[in-house]
Amino acid sequence: MPKELSDTGIALYRKYRPRTFKDVIGQDHVVKVLLGALELGTISHAYLFSGSRGTGKTSIARIFAREIGTTENDLYEIDAASNTSVDDVRALNESVNTLPFESKYKVYILDEVHMLSKSAFNALLKTLEEPPKHVIFILATTEMEKLPETIISRCQTFTFKKPNQKILRETTIHVAKDEGFTVEPDAAELIALLGDGSFRDTLGILQKVITASKDKKVSAEEVEIVTGAPKGELVWECVAALSEKNLPKGLKTIKNASDGNIDMRTLITLMLHKIRTILLLKYSPDLENHFKEEFGDDEFQKLKSVSGDKNSHINSATVVELIHAYDITGRSAVAELPLELAFVKLVGQNS
């Protein structure tokens, strides 16, 4: 990924934002179609980019605008979350009739477009139906379901994928290297997990960690301290309690996590990551080399040991209950309660 000039103090997600289609990672299905349209000259008047935060929607919109020859003077980025009214859209509708300053096309990028009011959508609809030939709209949203079907049907739609753990881990390692840091495998994996499918969030976490680092080598312990993520030992105690079917140990560990102000969803995420790996190692031993690269030696040996333990009680039901606990944690009045109930259901029966 390219760096911007004069980048001292700039946020990493901006510094390493893709500048060309070749720099885009994990959205090949979008890039391929857009490049095809550029080659054939079949440019649509309206595009809709949907997907979770930090997946590159705005970056690709900017790249596309540059590729069709639109300069900064003819590129307009509008935050729909701050311009939600019908008057804002009416002002937009008036501005589109003005010819571009120096480009063939004027491009309007409307970010978080789902935030527009109903009347604003109605005002935008007519322009989307019959836009001037020199105007291209690129709508971006994290909540596609909130858009009226009338808007969606008038756009060429692209769904952006969340980057997987491998992509985020490799991005973390490469960016850290460019910044003069070495990130240990366990640390890179933890940063990627905490990034939760977002390049922006992942690089934001990395920036916090390297800013606080006393040397040029980032360990998992440093990531835990800076982010407030549960210590690896605590996560392993929870996994061990499930494996051993030891309810008192599990509930005590959850209490310790709560007392330490650990985010329960983060704890469950890290547990799921280890338990998924344990099950894959158990049922698909040929993946061993893959996980050797993903985890540090000590971590991998622990995972392999549990996967080979015939007395372990970890199974597919464990994953199902933890996923359910994760889903309802945000709605629980007591943050740790869903995880406690999952332990009671999984471990308390016949213990």
Q: Are residues 185 and 116 in the same domain?
A: no
**What is the pTM assigned to this prediction?**
0.80
In the chain the first and final C-alpha atoms are separated, in Å, by 53
User: What is the model's pLDDT at position 4?
Assistant: 40
Q: Are residues 187 and 307 in the same domain?
A: no
Tens of pLDDT, residue by residue over 6-40, are: 344 689 999 999 999 999 999 999 999 999 999 99
CATH number for the domain including 176? 1.10.8.60
How many domains, the chain? 3
pLDDT reading at 95 higher than 50: yes
User: What is the model's pLDDT at position 56?
Assistant: 94
Indicate whether 11 belongs to any domain: no
CA dist., res. 30 & res. 125, Å (int): 24
CATH number for the domain including 140? 3.40.50.300
Domain hosting 195: range is 165-227
Alpha helices in the chain (DSSP H): 12-15, 28-40, 57-67, 86-95, 118-129, 149-152, 165-178, 185-195, 199-212, 220-227, 232-244, 247-259, 264-283, 288-294, 297-307, 316-329, 337-343
Calculate the average pLDDT of the chain: 90
Provide mean pLDDT across the span 329-349: 91
Tens of pLDDT, residue by residue over 103-126, are: 999 999 999 999 888 888 888 888
What share of the chain in percent tops pLDDT 90?
70
Q: Are residues 83 and 144 in the same domain?
A: yes
Choose one of 197, 227, 257: the last residue of a domain: 227
| Cα–Cα nearest to 24, from 50, 52, 49, 57 | 57
Indicate whether 18 belongs to any domain: no
The residue that leads in pLDDT, 267 or 330, is: 267
CA dist., res. 217 & res. 229, Å (int): 19
| Cα–Cα nearest to 62, from 71, 50, 52 | 71
When pLDDT is cut at 50, 70 and 90, the band that residue 84 belongs to is: low
Provide mean pLDDT across the span 167-182: 94
Provide mean pLDDT across the span 294-321: 89
Indicate whether 1 belongs to any domain: no
Indicate whether 14 belongs to any domain: no
Choose one of 159, 183, 209: the last residue of a domain: 159
